[in-house]
Amino acid sequence: MKVIVGLGNPTAQYAGTRHNMGFAVIEELAEQYNIKITEKKHKALIGVGRISGEKVILAMPQTYMNLSGESVREIVDYYKVDSQEDLIVVYDDISLDVGKLRIRPKGSAGGHNGIKSIISHLGEDIFIRVKVGVGEKRPGQDLADHVLGRFTKEEQPMVREAAKKACDAIECILSNDVNKAMNDYN
C-alpha cells in the first residue's frame, strides 16, 4: 500500500492558490482513478482506491500547511507504512517554473513549511517528493502573498497540464520506481 499526500490549505479561501498545488494533484488523481475522497480522519480528507494495481490512500491534510506533519505522521502510523518506501508527498515549489516537475526520493525542506513539518514529525527526510513548479515571486513581493495568490489566466493551462503530468509521474512511481519517474519526468 502507498500513501499519496497532497499538501495545501483547507477551506474555499485557499482553493486554487499556488500553495494548494498538492491538493490539485490529489483531486486530479481521484478523478482519473474514480477514488472518492470523503472520509475525514487523521486530520485529513482520505480516499482509498487502486492505481496501477497498487492499493493507495489519497490524503489531503486539513491542518493547514505549516502543520501538515501532524496528519502525515498519523496516517503513516495508522496504516503502518514505511515512509521511506511507501509515502509520496506532492507539493508546490517556487524554485521551479510554473508547470515543471521535479521528483526526488529524499532531501531537505528547501524552505517549504509543509515539508519542514513532515520532516519534523517523521524524524527523517527520506520520503518520495513530487514537486510541482508554481514560479518564483516577483521582486519585492512578499512570499506569503505569492504562494497564497492565484495563478494568472495565462498560467492556468500550464497548471492543469502539470497536475495531469504529476499524476502520470505518480503512476510511473507506482508501476516502476522513483528512479524511472525521475528519468522520465525531471
Q: Mind giving me the DSSP string for 42-93? A: TTEEEEEEEETTEEEEEEEE-S-GGGHHHHHHHHHHHHT--HHHHEEEEEEE
19 assigned to active site: yes
Question: pTM of the predicted model, to two decimals?
Answer: 0.96
Is a pLDDT exceeding 90 seen at residue 165?
A: yes
Is a pLDDT exceeding 90 seen at residue 142?
A: no
Report the pLDDT value the prediction gives residue 138, as an integer from 0 to 100. Answer: 85
Annotated catalytic residue within 19, 42, 112, 121: 19
Domains in the chain, please, with CATH?
2-185 (3.40.50.1470)
C-alpha cell at position 63? 491542518
Burial class of residue 95 in the structure, from the number of CB atoms within 10 Å of its CB (0-12 exposed, 13-18 middle, 19+ buried): middle
pLDDT 10s digits, 96-120: 999 999 999 999 999 899 999 999 9
Is a pLDDT exceeding 90 seen at residue 141?
A: no
Interior angle at CA 181, CA 175 and CA 185, nearest 5: 135
Report the pLDDT value the prediction gives residue 143, as an integer from 0 to 100. Answer: 83
